[in-house]
A = this chain, B = another copy of it.
């Protein structure tokens, strides 16, 4: 616990005006509309400015330039000016909120550890978790209850694997990887070879999934193993819930992918891309670095120029799609107008014809 003055100093902030309350203790953080006395809050989005008049927070982080003249009449609210109120708030959030530790410590007696598996120092294994033969779990990694780590799978250090995650055999995860409950890493790719008689024969899926350092993977997301070689999720990638990553996909470093997006087999996604929710990406294509793809878009071909924004099904440059969508609203009227124009032209032709006579 710190006083308001201490928080301000720690965040490299400046207290607005003179305020006798700066020695009050801040004991938690909260959103501006929910804060109570003792809370630190913040104002970043101007939409929430009105709450400055009513919030019960004891201190509020604001930007260096915000005009708060009109709130002078609130002596119980201390204003702390910082460069970026939201970022400062996040720092305070991490420090001031004693989060519940969701992982139990140590190795639960019911955890099953396979033959020749290697469990590092300070590893935590939850109840009923199964570590396959030959698997490697790096030091400091915490694995929740009921997880299944396949044979020969290697997980690095300081990872957080939440309950009920499944890794199939022979996959690889780096350090500081976070995987949320229900995610399935390394299930067979969807490879089905059509036969002459109309049935399908399963194509063996013999590759692996390789997840690099600092990746986070959401709940119930599925990342399939490669047919041969590897499905690769590069360093720093962040994937939301219920995302499908098919066999042999490569996702470049520091790309973020929102919920329910699907990436088909062998697509290569660049680095630093931002892919919104419910996007569909076809197989065997390439997406350049720093590409932005807006929600629900459908990408059927490669997007080769880096740093552009795309939208729509079929996908197009975002601005063009927005023009098309704006024009779409006028389409029913336009169709009627074309009919009216045809009629008028026929009439004109007729009149002009008469004149000829």
Whether A296 contacts B324 in the complex (CB less than 8 A), given A168-B162, A219-B187, comes out as no
Considering the chains assembled together, what is the distance between the CA atoms of A337 and B330 in angstroms? 13
Considering the chains assembled together, what is the distance between the CA atoms of A123 and B203 in angstroms? 24
State whether B130 touches A130 (Cβ < 8 A).
no
The segment from A10-18, A53-61, A67-75, A343-351 found at the interface with B is A343-351
Indicate the member of A30, A169, A238, A296 with the most B CB atoms within 10 Å.
A296
A321, chain B: closest CB distance, angstroms: 9
User: Within 8 Å CB of A164, what residues of B?
Assistant: 146, 148, 164, 166, 184
Considering the chains assembled together, what is the distance between the CA atoms of A86 and B201 in angstroms? 13
A207 and chain B: residue at smallest CB distance: B31
State whether B127 touches A199 (Cβ < 8 A).
no
Mark out the residues of chain A between 233 and 248 whose CB falls within 8 Å of any chain B CB in the assembled complex. 236, 238, 240-242, 244, 246
Answer whether residue A9 sits at the interface, using C-beta atoms and an 8 A cutoff.
no
Answer whether residue A138 sits at the interface, using C-beta atoms and an 8 A cutoff.
no
Answer whether residue A259 sits at the interface, using C-beta atoms and an 8 A cutoff.
yes
Answer whether residue A206 sits at the interface, using C-beta atoms and an 8 A cutoff.
yes
A: number of interface residues (CB 8 Å): 113
User: Within 8 Å CB of A148, what residues of B?
Assistant: 126, 144-146, 163-164, 181
A278 and chain B: residue at smallest CB distance: B280
Considering the chains assembled together, what is the distance between the CA atoms of A194 and B168 in angstroms? 31
Mark out the residues of chain A between 198 and 244 whose CB falls within 8 Å of any chain B CB in the assembled complex. 198-204, 206, 214, 216, 218-220, 222, 224, 228-229, 236, 238, 240-242, 244
**A residues neighboring B (CB under 8 Å):** 29-31, 34, 86-87, 90, 93-94, 97, 99-102, 108, 110, 112, 126-128, 130, 132, 144-146, 148, 150-152, 162-164, 166, 168-170, 178, 180-182, 184, 187-188, 190, 192-193, 198-204, 206, 214, 216, 218-220, 222, 224, 228-229, 236, 238, 240-242, 244, 246, 254, 256, 258-260, 262, 264, 272, 277-278, 280, 282, 295-296, 298, 300, 313-314, 316, 320, 323-332, 334-335, 337-338, 341-342, 344-345, 348-349, 351-352, 355
